[in-house]
Structure 1
Amino acid sequence: GEVGIIESIQLKNFMCHSNLGPFQFGSNLNFVIGINGSGKSSVLTALIVGLGGKATTTNRGSSLKMFIQKGETSADISITLRNQGRDAFKPELYGASITVNQRINQDGSRTCKLKSKSGTTISSKKEELIGILDHFNIQVVDNPVSVLTQEMSKQFLQTKNEGDKYKFFMKATQLEQMKEDYSFIGITKKNTRVQIEQGEERLEGLKQLYLEKKEIFKSIAFVNDMQSRLKDLKHQMAWAVVSEMEKEIELLKEGIEAEEGNTEFLQKVEECQVKLNEAEKKYKAIQDKLVTVSEDAQALHPKCISLKAEVQAKRKAVNEAEIVYNRSKTELKCLGKDNEQLRKRIEELKTCANRVSEPEKLERQRKIAYLREQLKAFHDEEIMINQQMDQFQQAISKCREEQSRLRRENSDMQQALDAKQKQLRDLKDSKTNALKRFGPHMPAFLEAIEMAHKQGHFKKKPLGPLGALIHPKDPELILAIESCLKGLLQAFCCDNHSDERTLQFLMSKYFTRGLRPQIIVNKFQNKIYDTSQRAVYHPEFASVLTALEIDNPVVANCLIDMRGIETVLLIKNSRKAREVMQWNRPPKNCKEAFTAEGDQVFERRYYSSNFVRPRFLSQDVESEIRL
């Protein structure tokens, strides 16, 4: 399809980057590559936030304002989506592409603008963005298969709870939604069957009602005849009145002519006038009666039409029922014929059996009994063989499973043994030089950095590894601190991108690709950030920031930017950690906590650590070698 493809993305003042992009993407598969700290994760985080996701969904912050670069008042994300083809979203408004502009403000709010291909702002409503994502079937926020963040992938790989993995699988494949839809379909099917059964019961009542309505229709069918008869009567009445009046006028004319000059002429004229008035009254009464009859006929006309339609519907239903009845009658007739044929065949077999002599009958019965016993024995033997086969199959399956398990255990043990041997070698090397804990080539690499700095290849000397520049105050919290900082302990910090490129070139001589330490570009400052407003405070437990002795403010600022160590609590006891983070509301500004065993505790989640002892920050090397 030509819709929903991400064409480009651009970031301004987002996380550690003042201006990143714009990146142009192709229509097919795209790989985002770059050195550590160059912004790969920032692009993925911006994609989630830019398309409406919450800050907590990214696992990189608890509030949107945390994504604004230090010293800036806002951050901007611009994402362009392709909008071409027959499935385009409102192409008459947006054109061939839709640009989503998200601005994150300093108070944690954000504003959204949806622009057309020409740059015209079409809408600023969140509902319009949701409609676009639904239309393009983009599940960037809810489906971990669409966007699997770095933190979520680590949590998924490290979790030991099979239930969490199953929930992840159900959510990713949308099987949970399909399960709910399937249950709803089953309920709908059951209700439909009940409605069909109820409809069949009502059908008999409707048939009876149809017969009653049919009788009523027949009783009022004479309305049409009455209308036609009324029309004829109107004509007949009009001509009858005219005929009578003409006859009376003729009589009057004859009387007038016969009695002209007679003294009684005036009196007869008056009598004729009286008769004429009476005739007019009769005509008017007849006209009123005709009007009344016409109104009654008009009132009955709609009822007649509705009854006709109802009769037609009932007649159709009766015809369908008659078709079903005739079909059933035909099938019954065929079954009757088959029954008669079978009855005749049975009679023939009985007659044939009666003709057989008594000894033959006994012999046949004996053979039948013997055959039945043999058949039963074969059947029992078949059941026993099938049971044995099932037992053998189960035994084979168990053996195969046991063999696979032993192979896996052997492989795991070998990997664990190799890891322990390597760790032992590293610990022995670190006895003479603590920097070797961060890698066998680390001392030589630091000497190369010092030499390059003296030769003027760096504007400011890079700092690292960061783990060598921090010192835990409490030895019991070392594993917790390592579980929190992880790969940042081996990272280096540069003041500018020019120094970063020089350091990257030096790393290529001492570290293989894929195993190089992370490089963080962060402007060197002479004082630690003021974290009083956003740092966590607890009267009993320390944060990672307060649990460390950090002499260099650049190192502290780097860990604040990259890991938010001012918002992470260190609680030795796991039960106490659950009580602080999960049983009650977490302390203000607290994102997560770590226990002395290295377990990670969130407000609604708990992840066990895979580490049993510290690797970089331990202060007693001899005891670790003995372990």
Structure 2
Amino acid sequence: MAAGTISRIRLENFMCHSSLHIELGEHVNFITGQNGSGKSAILTALCVAFGCRAKNTQRAASLKDFIKTGCSYASIVVDISNHGEDAFKPEVYGNVIILERRITESSSSTVLKDQHGRKVAHRKDDLVEIIEHFNIDVENPCVIMSQDKSREFLHSGNDRDKFKFFFKATLLQQVNDMLGSIREKLTGADSIVEELEKSIGPVLKDLDDLQGKIKNMEHIEEIAHEIDNLKKKLAWAWVYDVVKKIEEQANKLEKLKERIPACQERIDRNTAIIEELRKDFIVKKENVRSFLEKTQEVRRMKEKLEHDMHEAGKLKMDLEKEHERGMQMLNKMNNRVRQLQVQVDEFELQHMQETQAEVSQIEDKMRELQQEINSAHLSATRLKEEEKKLSEELWGITKSIGDIEKKIAEDARKINHLKSQIRDFQQRQHDKVTAFGGDRVLSLFRSIERHQSRFKCPPVGPIGAHVELSSDSWSVAVDCAFGRLLDAFIVSCHKDSLLLRECAKEANYRNLQIIIYDFAKPLHDIPNHLVPSTPHPTILSVIRSESPTILNVLVDQGHAERQVLVQDYEMGKSVAFDQRIRNLKEVYTSDGYKMFCRGSVQTILPPNRKWRAGRLCTSVGETITEMKNEATGIEQINLEREGQKSELVVQRGKIELQLRSLKRKREDEERRLERKKLQLDDTKKLSADNNHDTAVDTSELVAEMMQVKEDIGNKELVLQKINLKLTDALQEENNKRASYKDFIESAYAEMGSISDVEHELQLVEEKIHDAQQNDDGDFVQSLLLSPFAADQ
């Protein structure tokens, strides 16, 4: 059996087969059976085993759909013969290659085994390598032709489609694509070679310059070598000179050695003097240390005495404050006794002062107070009314200012929106494509250009960039009808759609609408009985495009042949709802209203007010001029409103001042009214009290006065005790101060003796220093007098 021949197929839980084993012959094999017995399942199993996608088999949407109902997995095992000269890696796989594909609910795996069942590989690239080696292309109709493909081939009466089928089946399509990509790469390589040849010229010139510089550098190196030799000769000349000087200095050193004994004798004499001074210095230093210890003890005693003095002074001050508080309390009690005595006297004289004249005076005063209360009430009422009027006027002005601010803010938003639209239209003037997706479309074009060799056919889009109108008056209506369909791109196959989706992701273009369509289809020929019978134009009749694919997509996806355009709102209602036209889907007015009828329900959708002109409009310059004039007019109106707002703000400030002034006057009148009412109540109460001629009971006041006098006696006893404590505290403080003074005088006497000892210690240090200086000076002087030092 030749290499690459399928010798055995084993299926488990795959489609309708629970367990199936088939041994295949070396030549032609026929599989027969009734409908539904699983013949096509065997062919589908081969396609799935060799890496075909589930959708491409046209039998299921995903691999998990191939699992038999009620089972959790499916398994496909295919044995491939690997004999002869065309064997694939016989040293690894042996005589048989076992291909196992296992499918579960959540995943699928492929395993390649050798003839003994040992696992060799599991990557998809290894499977592709085997398929390419044996030329097993399951998607090629000449290798595996499914029922659907054979039915499509038999029912296709177009010679062009048959040739395309033949072209693909014989792999000529793949060869043609490869030749095209090779031709493009060769063209690119030729241009690169030409550019490199052009760029070599300056490099050759630089090379000549470098060779000249190299020759100059060689000459410089020779000069540097001669300089090194001269430096070495100069160094040896310095060496000879230094050796001669060293010999002279050695002779002088011998002469100096003869003078060493005399110098050593003087050094020993001065050393003995220094030792005596150091002993004296140690004794003096010990005296100073003992004095310092005494000083520290004196300092501690001083701090203790100061603390005792402070505590005695604090105790004295506390007693003085307590004595002062007691005296104040005693004075208050005496004052209270006097006040109680005065009250008793006043109560006793109270009945004597109530006369008829006083009663008459109280009545006159009550009448006068009532008149003042009436006057104050009238004044307060008048001020309240004026304040209410000013408050209403202030509220009206504040509301007017708020309305003006809202209008200014709303117009500012309009201006910003107009400026944004102006920028969009100006960008459309430079590049029409940006109207259908903005800058993202430009990024997408650059990404498509980078990956253009990977597309089977270049994508077409956006659709709006390839469409023109017979009249700009329908631009808004057509834009409302198609909407995002104008932003869509068209590709020829599913593979190109996935590649275009990757390009869109790379360009950060999210939610790109991609339509898969056959570019080879001719322009649709729509019969008249399928078009709405109306004198008004349809969208298909007012759009133009050089690409028939664009028009076909707008018909298939956008129903352009069934959407009618009218001039105004009333005409649109008549066409959409009154005439009941067949094949009519929707009606659009020139200003963007959408009208349609679904059964008995009539629907009218308003236009998008943000659109000043449709994206298919060609007269962009006029629209930009209109929007600029509108923005300028709104800004002028806003300036006038700002002036009105400033005048109202000034007026509001004046009214607020008047309102505050009135409020102060009203509050003053109300306070005056309340005071008069209180005075009237007090007068009435006084009059009522005068009418009751009752005796006054002063027994409580007398009892309180006696209690206070008793408290005064107790307080005087406490003050006497405090006076005794205060006298003792004063005596203690004076004693502490005298002790502190005596201690300070004795400490000053001891400090004087410490100063004398420190002075003597300083004198000894100076003597030691002078002796050391004399010793060193004599030695230095002997050196300076020598001839060697003089030469140095």
After TM superposition, the score normalised by the length of structure 1 is 0.35
After TM superposition, the score normalised by the length of structure 2 is 0.28
Larger RCO, structure (CA 8 Å, separation 6 or more): 2
Q: Which has the larger radius of gyration?
A: 2
- Higher helix proportion: 2
